Copies of this chain bind each other. A is one copy, B any other.
Amino acid sequence: MAGEGRSKDLGKGLGKSGELDFPRPLTTVDVVIFTILDDSLQVLLMQRPAGEGEPFPLSLALPGGFVDVTKDRDLAACAARKLKEKTGVTSPYLEQLGSWGSATRDPRGWSATHAYFALIPADASVLANDAHWFPIRGGRLKDKLAFDHGDILATAIQRLRNKVEYTSLPAYLMPPEFTLPDLQRVYEIVLDRPLEKSAFRTRILSADMIEPVAKMRRGPNRPAQLYRLKKGSEPVYFVRTFNPPE
């Protein structure tokens, strides 16, 4: 950051703090919210409003909006606010994804958005009535999105998949209690390939991130041990990836 450089760039002398008078890009925050629903990875999208002057009227878009300098202490708080407004979830996994800024991404002018991505269990959310889940099949979304939100979503999917190879991130997509086969299924949904059962169990159990509860999941066959996330557990990083496909 600086003020330095700017006055030089323009090649003319500016009064003190004159450099603050230059055109400022629009600043927004968008959130890519993932969950697992119906045995599939899903993302939360909203329909753009139709009002006059609104860009991409009625298109699908990521939840987000302008940073409110009077309300948002910082970017993460702004992202958490959006998440809360749309899903009611307050304490999810929330990670910064990156930022996208250019002269052309928003017809209203030079704009930059700070993108976050969140993982929540589907059953923990109560959606705002203009928000809906959309399934991601084959690693992509069917629909076209407003702005460059398609790029942002693609990056988020890639980041999620990449990290799932060597971290415990899917744990944040689980309900409070779950079985190891449940967790493995979520890994497989995100990665879109089957994993080895025994290697999976060894890895997860030796990572010390979940603990058994004194209950079993009962069903039409052998009961499965229920587990919960150990509290305060940061994501775990494994020293190997699962063996990659092909």
Contacts of A183 in B (CB 8 A): none
A-B pairs with beta carbons under 8 Å apart, 19 shown? A1-B64, A1-B146, A1-B147, A2-B28, A2-B64, A3-B49, A3-B65, A3-B66, A4-B49, A5-B65, A6-B65, A17-B53, A24-B24, A24-B25, A24-B26, A27-B101, A74-B103, A75-B99, A98-B98
Count of chain copies: 2
Q: Is the CB of B66 within 8 A of A19?
A: yes
The CA-CA distance from A23 to B24 in the complex, in Å, is 10
Q: Which residues 51-96 in A have Cβ within 8 Å of B in the complex?
A: 51-55, 61-75, 82, 85, 96
Q: Is the CB of B243 within 8 A of A241?
A: no
The CA-CA distance from A61 to B52 in the complex, in Å, is 44
Cβ-closest 5 pairs across A and B: A74-B102, A16-B53, A5-B65, A17-B53, A2-B65
Tell me if A48 is interfacial: C-beta within 8 Å of chain B. Answer: yes
Secondary structure call for the A interface: loop
Tell me if A184 is interfacial: C-beta within 8 Å of chain B. Answer: no
